[in-house]
Chain A
């Protein structure tokens, strides 16, 4: 049983570190898109590993925690995808230093719209 305790505590510490990094990313990043990717990636992994660690520490909760982990793995990236897409649709520009960088997605959408009009 001892080894499972160590695995559980390890997972919880990893999760705590990643949640902290995610919070730091949201705080430090310059614009919406970088913030949402920092928040999503780090906090998804952090929350998942914390919940999985709890499941390893308490074996009778393991199935429930697995269901929660699956839910998080689907819901968390999905919601931030919807947020980022909505922001892009609202013509929010990301902060770029290099002016030559183009928004390929927007150009493609623009072309598709022009085709539809024709």
Chain B
């Protein structure tokens, strides 16, 4: 009986899905209009040379705000699940400190860390000009911190600072969005209200570049926090009296 109901419901759902998709013609004449609009509008009106960034941050900026929120929720959920297993006093894990990485790795990490951070910053600052952007740049920055974390076991990341960076970056995103309501010509959320500048320059695209810098900071702080949380957890069952 149960199976019959499930099959019937699936058939009804499938029928309606099919009837919707059948009405979309093959050959994509209808999609071509949207594509042409994006390709035409992003260099001309927005002055953003990277069309992908123009779509992600400007045309579908609200969607990106949602994605950033999803990432924030994921890191919060991970933190709250793993919080009980963390060492509370200093945030350091004796197990982790016992493993010593070699002198070469430690020295190399010291040299490579600024270069990785520079690359990450370059990627998210040039998000509206070259491939890449806030998410990618943030991930690169987090790998730099991961390198430091695995080579210096006693390196301590202050989670309050991470939280503040995250919160400020997220607030900047939302404030720019609200600024679109107030200052822009068309009064839409996330509408551009700054001067567009010239195409292919670093300062161009209005709010797109600023939003991607905020996203870069936010993603970098979040992924660094996740990695640090994962590295500071104790192995379950090792210290039964603390749980």
Contact = CB atoms under 8 A, between A and B. Distances in A.
A48 to B, nearest CB: 15
A67 B6 CA distance: 60
A75 B116 CA distance: 11
Interface stretch (A25-33, A35-43, A50-58, A77-85): A77-85
B115 A71 contact: yes
B100 to A, nearest CB: 11
Secondary structure dominating the interface of B: helix
B20 interface: no
Interface stretch (B90-98, B103-111, B181-189, B191-199): B103-111
A74 B113 CA distance: 11
Interface string B105-148: 10010011001000000000000000000000000000000000
Contacts of B108: 74-75, 78
B112 A81 contact: no
Contacts of B101: 82
Interface residues of A, number: 8
Secondary structure dominating the interface of A: helix
A75 B101 CA distance: 15
Nearest to B99: A89
Interface residues of B, number: 8
Nearest to B104: A81
Contacts of B115: 67, 71
B101 to A, nearest CB: 7
Contact of B111 (A67, A74, A81, A85): A74
A85 B150 CA distance: 14
With a 10 A CB-CB cut-off, give which of A74, A75, A78 has the most chain B CB atoms: A78
Nearest to B105: A82
A54 to B, nearest CB: 17
Contacts of A81: 102, 104-105
Interface of B: 101-102, 104-105, 108, 111-112, 115
Interface of A: 67, 71, 74-75, 78, 81-82, 85
13 contacts: A67-B115, A71-B115, A74-B111, A74-B112, A75-B108, A75-B112, A78-B104, A78-B105, A78-B112, A81-B102, A81-B104, A82-B101, A82-B105
